[in-house]
Chain A
């Protein structure tokens, strides 16, 4: 469990990125921070691994105040995946993935062996192990970034718009894989995005943020969709535009779902158990 207690972050230039922020992030669930650019999502995320230190307030992980922990050691037990993959250009894929275990003192051979297994986990062919990041596609680089984030087998995985820079088809693929991974690995994932659809798809808990890290609403996707607390949230999730207000319309070839402007949005099927493939 990660807990923010009245956390404020004021940068030296006077910008208050986050003001008096309170939140509990449950373990082994995916929590998504969603909000427009500049709402403080990245700042919130980076306060968890002490890449940013709060001006006031406290953040604790499983009851331990992070300000009492050594930043370097803390970062080595928290996975971090960022938008531009953040891979070292002069390290081969396998070396990038094995980075944190090697920093933690795992012998190089074993770290590389385990890194190969991780390539399988994130759906990358082992033949890519000896390539350099510049020889991979954007989507492949992101997968390597995820593999590196998982390498030390951290309990917590921080993801800052990890799929923001890849094209929509690859993004959809990566999202599905992340859902699969999360089901298998059972990590506490904190995910940042500005895309509300991505937030609803991935989040068990979704936190909608306004400028200054102000929480507009916290809840499960269905809670938020069913009852947006205010106009800002309704606007943000697209309810205003009727994007989420679907209705059934019968057509000659069967029933379909349409949104409020009459565009086809999907079909109605019998509910399936979440685990069925």
Chain B
């Protein structure tokens, strides 16, 4: 309990916010690395996932590949890559991109897969090109699940980005590694709390995105729709 109070004292002490190793800089570093990683991973995984979802082929390769990648210990990966590319941000960024790809990939293709085959068949039968099917039908209807994939990828990346500090890449992990070396548990705890806070912010952000990307017509069909409400109120009145 004492550690926890001291940890919060560490966080709220203005003296700890300034400077190159301060909370402010490290927060920004951490966020920046996480954002960069998710953007790079998305740029790779989304087109591939859409292709898999649209054509329905290559899914088994993606599943096996993702399983393999998920089994890799990220710390080991960071170390191995750092040995060849050197100390700095490159190694953790590559390792985190590898970590983030499976979730985004799965979100992208499962969003397409979840669409009623008859809807897509009809879109083709009235004369849409394959590209128009992707952009006008599959993309808008698959967006919420893609957001779900981005959500879990971001969560993983934010929590694992603490490893960047291990190879001199900065970020909130610095408090953990410094604390560990100097037996400064409040500082370690403070670092963890800040990482958790970022993770929660990211969760909240994507939870909102997952909701707002559900197309209006689909939301209208859900049990909470305008049409379903009267029958429910009637049921409660009875």
Contact = CB atoms under 8 A, between A and B. Distances in A.
Which residue, A49, A88, A92, A132, has most C-beta atoms of chain B within 10 A?
A88
B76 interface: no
A80 interface: yes
A89 B127 CA distance: 17
Contact of A132 (B118, B126, B127, B221): B221
Given A82-B118, A135-B226, A89 B218 contact: yes
Contacts of A54: none
Contacts of B225: 134-135
Given A92-B217, A132-B221, A135-B225, A87 B122 contact: yes
B128 interface: yes
Interface in A22-54: 46, 49, 51
Interface stretch (A70-78, A109-117, A119-127, A217-225): A70-78
A264 to B, nearest CB: 39
A238 to B, nearest CB: 31
B118 A90 contact: no
A100 interface: yes
A86 B220 contact: no
A19 interface: no
B126 A75 contact: yes
Interface string B210-238: 00000111101100011100000000000
A91 interface: yes
B1 interface: no
A103 interface: yes
B58 interface: no
A260 interface: no
B94 interface: no
Contacts of A72: 127-129
Contacts of B123: 86, 88
Q: Which of under 10, 10 to 19, 20 to 34, or 35 or more describes the interface residues of B? A: 20 to 34
Contacts of A143: none
Which residue, A74, A99, A148, has most C-beta atoms of chain B within 10 A?
A99
Interface string B113-140: 0000011011111111100100011001
A132 B132 CA distance: 20
Nearest to A103: B127
A90 B120 CA distance: 13
Which residue, B140, B217, B220, B221, has most C-beta atoms of chain A within 10 A?
B217
Contacts of B227: 134-135
A86 B122 contact: yes
Given A132-B220, A134-B218, A75 B125 contact: yes
A133 B216 CA distance: 11
B118 A89 contact: no
A164 to B, nearest CB: 13
Contacts of B122: 80, 82, 84, 86-88
B106 interface: no
Contact of B217 (A49, A76, A90): A90
A75 B118 contact: no
B141 interface: yes
Nearest to B140: A90
B127 A76 contact: yes
A148 B126 contact: yes
A88 B125 contact: no
A86 B221 contact: no
B217 A91 contact: yes
Nearest to A87: B122
A76 B127 CA distance: 5
Given A86-B118, A86-B119, A88-B119, A51 B220 contact: no
A162 to B, nearest CB: 12
Interface of B: 118-119, 121-129, 132, 136-137, 140-141, 215-218, 220-221, 225-227
22 contacts: A73-B127, A74-B127, A76-B127, A80-B122, A80-B125, A80-B126, A82-B118, A82-B125, A86-B123, A88-B136, A89-B119, A89-B215, A89-B217, A90-B216, A90-B217, A132-B216, A132-B217, A133-B221, A134-B217, A134-B220, A135-B226, A148-B126
Interface of A: 46, 49, 51, 72-76, 80, 82, 84, 86-92, 99-100, 103, 132-135, 148
Q: Which 9 A-B pairs have the closest CB atoms?
A: A86-B122, A134-B221, A132-B217, A90-B215, A76-B127, A75-B127, A90-B217, A80-B125, A132-B220
Given A86-B118, A134-B227, A135-B227, 8 more contacts: A49-B125, A86-B121, A86-B123, A87-B122, A89-B217, A132-B216, A133-B217, A134-B220
